Structure 1
């Protein structure tokens, strides 16, 4: 019964070490994500300013179009020359063309703002995942430190293909290296050997 619980504890220890390796590999992405998040904020602020400016210009042109329409209606009700009427119609067409261009520009800016908002949400989600990963990393480090303190074994986490590490004897101030070939030993024998090292 005692060997079984030691075997389970050893498997948990190895599993914690593997999880910690994966967390440490993802740590480098935090700076890139935070920089991307700042860039999205800047782009979003700039796009909102452009959006407001275009909206104001659109309102101005709508006011001018309304004024042109009034002038056209007034000109139609009065006796005016064909030349003046053609001029007013031409002015009205130009204002309508400008309005179409502004509406198209407004649609493009709105689309950009929507895209930036989606990017911002994605970055926030990734940032949250990275925060949780950092918390998991700190927990894994504390767990690994506790295992090392209890067992006097410091595993080698740099090569997951083999089971290796160092045995530290604080009283004798000795450090011994160990390594097990996973191809020549079954997991049970590896765990049994580790428990024997802990008990010795």
Structure 2
């Protein structure tokens, strides 16, 4: 069992956890992870989160977070953010992630590091046009994705937050034809006979 040391530091007004350990060659390794907690009034919560993270952190089996799929990362973020959010906020985030955001990205098979603003624009456009999402829903999902992806930036897993440049309420990029076909196919699933849908699916997936 590798001994993982840790301490807190202040960065940009929030607590950061700094973990350190020796690898199999004896070389000292470190990793910085944001708690997301403002410094003022949160020292005890940050210390508790640090102890929990030290206990659960296993560098021997650690997967590069950037290689996680988007749904895997979002699920992990929810698990790690539970102490940083109020119960009401966490409940709303978990509901929206589980009902809307994670199921959408499960179909896309994107890794966290491959996620681009265009992918997020496509998500919001789909929810606007196919699912008839309200403006408030779009803004809520944008806020939730911003928080989730900013955690990856603060933890040095992403260089920049790809959702920050995206306006969830505007069509500011052209629809890619493949994206249009797949979105149309999903829409038709509940509107035509199963055999008809199966034929559509064969034609479209072969075309791609």
Is TM-score (shorter-chain normalized) higher than 0.5? Answer: no
Structure with greater strand percent: 2
TM bucket (normalised to shorter chain) is under 0.3
Q: Which has the larger radius of gyration?
A: 1
